Amino acid sequence: MTESQSFPDVVELNVGGRHFTTSLLTLTKCKDTMLGAMFSGKYQAIKDQDGRYFIDADGDNFVYVLNYLRYGELPPPNLVTTIYREAVYFGLHGMVEQLELSPSLLAQIHRDSYRAQFTGYHKIINAILDRIKECSTKNTETTTSLLVVLFAREKKKKLPNFDKNHTCFSKSKNRPKRMSDVTFGPWRNKSTTEKDVMNCVVFDLQEKGFIITQEATGQCGFKCESPPENTEDSIVENCTHLCYTLTFHWWKM
């Protein structure tokens, strides 16, 4: 059994190298939090070489945690996302709930929920970034373009000889044939279009700091003809997947 630990009324803290002085009442104001547990006396709190109680967290952000405990004060709007992470880390449930009502976090929650309908969505982002990295080592232009192919649903094929495993490509009158770099689909919500998903991809890549433009380049150019023995009722079936050119601009900042 670990012996209970007692604390002074005024507590000296070392939070990630930044020093604070506060009261034990403030630290234990919310009992069901990390700080409440740490200074409850039930656990052995770690001290630094100068005798301050050490907390492994960002000292600059801890200012807002402490102000919430003291005054119920929330951080300014531009820091909501950053301090939200700290509130979750310290188990400040009341602070978490209040911050989740802010515009920036409500938007983030909505976007996360929206992305959840696309199984493997984050894999397409990583696939695009991996492909861009591969292309950039050989690039001699100011931009890098990828062909991204999307399909909301997989339609039943009429022709038995239609190759479902073909590689999609884009081909137009004034452009050379371009094979798909990344293909993604189908997804659960059929009312969400390929354009919606493409906009989501572009938004997330732009959030990472990339300068990107997109262009819809039409339907995949792959087609399949009915077997030669069916000459009387010849059928041509086209792939319905949609192609988008995603261009990364490396000299626009």
pTM (2 d.p.): 0.77
Q: What is the pLDDT along the chain (253 residues), one digit of tens a residue?
A: 455 678 999 999 999 999 999 999 999 999 999 999 999 988 889 999 999 999 999 999 999 999 999 999 999 999 999 999 999 999 999 999 999 999 999 999 999 999 999 989 999 999 999 999 998 777 778 899 999 999 999 888 888 888 989 999 998 777 789 999 999 999 988 789 999 999 999 999 999 999 999 999 999 999 998 776 655 667 889 999 999 999 999 987 6
Query: Cβ(52)–Cβ(37) under 8 Å?
Result: no
**CB of 245 closer than 8 Å to CB of 170:** yes
Closest C-alpha among 28, 5, 19 to residue 50: 19
Q: How many Å apart are CA 162 and CA 47, to the nearest integer? A: 70
Rounded Cα distance, 124 and 118, in Å:
10
